[in-house]
Homo-oligomer: A and B are copies of this chain.
Amino acid sequence: MAYTDTNNRDKAIEIMESRGVFIEDIAKITHVIQSEYYAELTLEECVRNVMRVLDKTEVQNVIFTGVALDELCEKGLLPEPLSQLVDDDYSLYGVDEILALGIVNVYGSIGFTNFGYVDKQKIGIIGEVDKIGKEEGKCMTFMDDIIGAIAAAAASRIAHNIINKK
């Protein structure tokens, strides 16, 4: 059986929700990024674009992989030294950013700037997830970068579409 994107999109959404992250939370970050350029942009439009980003196989696969690593870390199932690197969200770990780039790339390089910005400023749910990740027994090392990457990709998608419609 081949995976279909729609089945796996729903599965990816379900997995993120089980970790406390909802589509609307991500869409709000996209709205912060893009409403600066398009005052009329609605949250609904952002939700719709986040959903389209989640249709992409590569985006789904990064979510499956990153969230699994966060959860395996919480359960103590990662070997050392990986476990400590992921648990501490060690600043030189880097694999979380590499995976995030796999998402941002899909809508072109204009997303990189926005990804860096929301990640550094910990906009919206990214800040909340970051705090949860610091609690004992919790790990959100991949999740915060995944959220930032999806939000930035959706913002790029909106920019491409709005300009092309003009």
Instruction: Tell me the A residues contacting B by CB distance below 8 Å.
Output: 2-5, 8, 11, 37, 56-58, 61-62, 64-65, 68-69, 71-72, 77-79, 81-82, 85, 90-95, 97-102, 105-106, 108-110, 112-117, 119-121, 159-160, 163-164, 166
Contacts and interface: CB of A to CB of B under 8 A. Distances in A.
* Stoichiometry, copies per complex: 4
B109 A117 contact: no
Contact of A101 (B93, B98, B163): B98
Contacts of A109: 58, 94-95, 97-98, 101-102, 105
Q: A-side binding surface: helix, strand, loop or mixed? A: helix
A5 B91 CA distance: 14
Contacts of A5: 164
A62 B120 contact: no
Given A94-B57, A116-B117, A2 B164 contact: yes
Nearest to A109: B97
A85 B68 CA distance: 13
